[in-house]
Structure 1
Amino acid sequence: MAPPFRMDQIGSLLRPKELLQARVSLSSPSQMYEVANDEKIKQAEKKAIEDVIQKQIDLNIRPVCSGEYCRHIFYGGFFETLDGMTPIPDLPIPDAFRTDFPTTTGLARMGAKTRAAVVCTGSIRWKKSAYLEEWNILRGGVPEWQWKELKITMPAPNYQHIQLKPGTAFTKDSGYSTDEQYFQDLGQAYAQEIKALYYAGCRNIQVDDPHLTYFCSSQFLGGCKKDGVDTDALLDLYLESHNIFLRQKPADLHMGMHLCRGNMSGSTHWVSGSYDQIAEKLFTKTDYNTYYLEFDEVGRTGGFEPLRFLPRGKNVVLGLVSTKKAELEDPKVLKGQIYQAAEQVTKGQRVSADEALDFLAISPQCGFSSSSLAGGKDMTMERMWEKLALVRDTAKEVWESF
C-alpha cells in the first residue's frame, strides 16, 4: 500500500491575522480547552478555513487540511468533549506532572507556574463528535469527489496520561483502578469519533503523538526512573492504546501517526534523540498505515537508519522541510535525503530501490503553527506557502507518477 500522496503536510497552518483577532479572547493557554461558542468566532473560523482550502487547491497542495483553524492548539477539541473528562486550567508545575517531564521543565524555564490538562473524573464516554463540525466545513469547500483528498488531525490517546504525575490521570472517583481500564474506554471513544468522521465521508486521519519521541530522550527516561516507572511497559501501554481503536477502523480508512519533538513559539523543541530506540516497536506493534516522521535536522532527530525496521505494507512520510527555520531548503539536498532514506528501507526489506521509494513520501517535519500564536522563528505566510510548494515540486520530481 503506497501512501495516499507523495507530498503531504502535517495539518496546522499559520493563522491569518483576521482569525487571531476574532479569537483573541480564547488565546490564553489557560483557555486552550475552552470551546468557542461565540457565533462571530465560528464565522471567522469558517471563513478562514474556506479561504485556506481554496489556497491549497490553487497551489495543488495535497492533502487539503483545515489548518486546525478551529483549535487553539493541535490537541484541543477532543478530550474536553468526552463525558468523564474534566479540564483543569492551572495544575501546578512541577508537582502535578512527571518528574523531569521535558515539556513542563521547558515551560518552567520560561516562567510558567501552571499548565492545563484534562483529568479523568468519571466513566469515559463519547457523546458527540469533537471534529465533525470542522470536517463538515472542510468537505464543504470541495466537491464530493474530492473528499478523498482531504485530511483531518486528532491528538493521541496518551496525550494527557503521559504528562501527568503517575497515578493521577484518573481519580479514585472515576471508577478506574488500572491504566488498562482507562485506555480501554478512551479507545472506544476514539473508535466512535473515527466512525462519525468516516460516515461523514472522511477517508484520511492523522493522529498526532509527539510525546512518543520522549522515549528517545534521556531526560524523560531518567525522570521515569526517578518515579519508579518501567518505560518499556509504559511504551507498550501507549502503543496498545492506539491499537484499541485501530483494530476497529474501516478497511478503506487511511490512518497515520505523526511524531515530532515539538514546534512551539520561536522554533522551540522539547527533546532530541534518534528514533532507533522506539522504531522497531513503533512500526511492528501499531496498526497504522503510515508514519509521519521528522528528519530535518540530524542533530535533533538522528539519521534514517531506523527505517530499516519498516515492514512491508507500511509507509513513512519523511519530514524533511523545516517549519522551524524560515530558510528555504535546497531541492537537490532534499532529493538526496529521500534516496538516502530509501537505502535504509532497501536494507531492511531487501527490496529494490524503486520498491523502497514506493513506501515513502515527503512533507514538512511538523505543522507550521502547533498553537494559534506559535510558529517557527521568522516564519511568514508567504514563506509557508513557498515551503509547501517546495515539498510539492520535490515530490513531483522524485515520484514521476505523482
Structure 2
Amino acid sequence: MSNKTIPFRADHVGSLLRPETLLQARADFQDGKITAEALYEIETNEIKRIVDKQIEAGLDVVTDGEFRRRFWHTDFLEQLNGVEGFIPNKGYPFSRGETERYTIRNKGKISFNPDHTQIKDFVLFNEIVGGRAVAKQTIPSPNQLFNIGIRDQETYPTIEEFAKDVIQTYKDAIQAFYNAGVRYLQLDDVYIAGLSSPDIPFNDGEYSRETLIELALHVINEVLEGKPEDLAVTTHLCRGNYRSDHAFAGSYDIIAPTLLAKEKVDGFFLEYDDERSGTFQPLSHIPKEGPKVVLGLVTSKTGELEDKKAIKARIKEASQYIPHDQLCLSPQCGFASTHHGNELTEEQQWEKLKFIAQIAKEVWEDKEENLTAAANADRA
C-alpha cells in the first residue's frame, strides 16, 4: 500500500448505523444491567460483523463503524488531557432543531493522554481486519477545538497559545496511532466547512474569518509536519450530520484558495450530495497531482438509491476542474455520526456502499485495466 492508493476509488467516511443489539447493550450498561466488559465484547462482535459486511460490499477500506463511540468527536476529544465532556444548556442548532445536549470544553493545559482508549481499540480492530482490507482510523480534526466557547481563556489568553498546545497534542496523537499500526488516518472537520458557510458569522467574533482560515491551515499543516511518510492522512469536511439533518449550508468557495489549495493532506472528502454543496469550481484550486478529492455524491441521509448514470455524469462534470485520476467516490458523510443514526435501514446502508464500489470499478478500475491491456498490446 502506498499513499497514492489512499483515499480509495471507492471509500466511505466511517460511521455506520448501530444495530439494535448494540443500542440495547448500551442501554443495559447505562442501567447497570451489564458490565463494561460485557458491553465491550458485544461491541467487538458487532465490529467483526460489519468488517465482513464492508469487505463483502467490495470495499478495500474498512472502519469499525465508530461502534465504540456515542458521538463522532466527543469520545476522542474528552480523553485528551485538559478537555472534559459536559451537558450544556442547549444542543447544537441544526435545521430541524437541536442535537442531544453533550459537548466538550477546555479546562486546563491540553496534551495527549497516552492511555487514550482509542489506541488500544484500533489494535484490536486491526487484528479483526487481519490484512483483508486497509483499516482506517477516524478522529476529529484538531480544528474542532477552535469552535467558539471551547477554549478556556484563563488557561490560554490568546488563540495562538492555544494553537501551540493543540498542535503538539495532535502530533503526539498521530504518532501514537502510527505506533499502534494506523496507516490511514482521517481527520473529520465540521469547523473548516463552517468557515466557508455564510450562515455562520465568524467576522462578528474576536477574530476575522480570514484570520481563522489561515490559522486552521497552519494548525493542520503543523500537525502533519514530520509525520511518517507511509502514513496517509485525509480530511473530511462536513456540514453537519445528525439524524439525517444538517447544520448549515455553503459552497467551498471561501476556503478553497487557502485550505483546499495548501492543506498538506493526501485527500479531501467533500460533500456534494445536494444543492447546499455549490458547484465543483472550487476544486480547480487543488494542485494537479496533489490531494485526491473523494466526491460525496451519494447521500447517507436517505435510503433511496441514486441514479447510476447521474452519478457518473457528476463525476465527469467534476473532472472539468480537477483531473479525473484525482477523483474518488463515497457517501457525503457517515451513516451515523452519532449513536442515533440517520433515517435509513441497515440494508439500505449496505446497498449504498455496494453501489459506490460498483460505480468506482466501472469508472476507474475497468478504464485503467483497458488502458493497461492496450499498452501491453502495443508493446507486443
TM-score higher than 0.5 here? yes
Of 68, 71, 82, 1:70 maps to: 68
Task: Identify the residue that residue 187 of structure 1 maps to in structure 2.
Answer: 167
- Deviations along 1:214-253, whole A, 9 cap, x unmatched? 22222212xx333353111012112222122111311111
Q: 1:326 to 1:253 in 2, by over 3 A?
A: same
User: Residues 293 and 317 of structure 1 are in contact (CA less than 8 Å); yes or no, is this contact kept in structure 2?
Assistant: yes
Alpha-carbon distance in structure 2 between the residues aligned to 1:60 and 1:111: 36
Alpha-carbon distance in structure 2 between the residues aligned to 1:368 and 1:55: 15
Of 92, 114, 131, 1:104 maps to: 92
Task: Identify the residue that residue 33 of structure 1 maps to in structure 2.
Answer: none
Task: Identify the residue that residue 353 of structure 1 maps to in structure 2.
Answer: none
Task: Identify the residue that residue 347 of structure 2 maps to in structure 1.
Answer: 382
Task: Identify the residue that residue 108 of structure 2 maps to in structure 1.
Answer: 122
| Structure 1 residue matching 2:45: 3-state secondary structure | helix
Does 2:141 correspond to 1:156? yes
1:50 to partner: Cα distance: 1.0
Task: Identify the residue that residue 217 of structure 2 maps to in structure 1.
Answer: 239
Task: Identify the residue that residue 351 of structure 1 maps to in structure 2.
Answer: none
Structural mapping, 1:279-290, within 5 Å: 279-290=256-267
Alpha-carbon distance in structure 2 between the residues aligned to 1:234 and 1:171: 17
Structural mapping, 1:17-56, within 5 Å: 17-24=20-27, 38-56=36-54
Aligned identity (percent) is: 35
Alpha-carbon distance in structure 2 between the residues aligned to 1:140 and 1:2: 21
Of 189, 206, 227, 1:249 maps to: 227
1:54 to partner: Cα distance: 1.3
Q: 1:238 to 1:190 in 2, by over 3 A?
A: same
Amino acid aligned to 1:359: Q
Of 124, 127, 133, 1:137 maps to: 124
Amino acid aligned to 1:78: F
1:111 to partner: Cα distance: 6.5
Task: Identify the residue that residue 82 of structure 1 maps to in structure 2.
Answer: 80
- Deviations along 1:1-27, whole A, 9 cap, x unmatched? 454411000000001110010112678
Task: Identify the residue that residue 32 of structure 1 maps to in structure 2.
Answer: none
Alpha-carbon distance in structure 2 between the residues aligned to 1:45 and 1:163: 33
Amino acid aligned to 2:122: W
User: Residues 151 and 205 of structure 1 are in contact (CA less than 8 Å); yes or no, is this contact kept in structure 2?
Assistant: yes
- Return 5+ residue gaps in structure 1 as ranges: 29-35, 94-102, 346-355
- Deviations along 1:79-131, whole A, 9 cap, x unmatched? 211222222222x34xxxxxxxxx73438x7367x943322222212122342
User: Residues 57 and 357 of structure 2 are in contact (CA less than 8 Å); yes or no, is this contact kept in structure 1?
Assistant: no
User: Residues 29 and 39 of structure 2 are in contact (CA less than 8 Å); yes or no, is this contact kept in structure 1?
Assistant: no
Task: Identify the residue that residue 203 of structure 1 maps to in structure 2.
Answer: 183
Amino acid aligned to 1:127: N
Query: How many residues are treated as equivalent by the alignment?
Result: 360
Of 274, 283, 288, 1:307 maps to: 283
Amino acid aligned to 1:256: T
User: Residues 246 and 287 of structure 1 are in contact (CA less than 8 Å); yes or no, is this contact kept in structure 2?
Assistant: yes
Alpha-carbon distance in structure 1 between the residues aligned to 2:316 and 2:303: 24
- Return 5+ residue gaps in structure 2 as ranges: 370-380
Q: 1:249 to 1:318 in 2, by over 3 A?
A: same
Amino acid aligned to 1:288: V
User: Residues 83 and 107 of structure 2 are in contact (CA less than 8 Å); yes or no, is this contact kept in structure 1?
Assistant: yes
Of 222, 239, 242, 1:264 maps to: 242
Alpha-carbon distance in structure 1 between the residues aligned to 2:98 and 2:159: 32
- Deviations along 1:300-319, whole A, 9 cap, x unmatched? 10111111111022110000
RMSD: 2.3
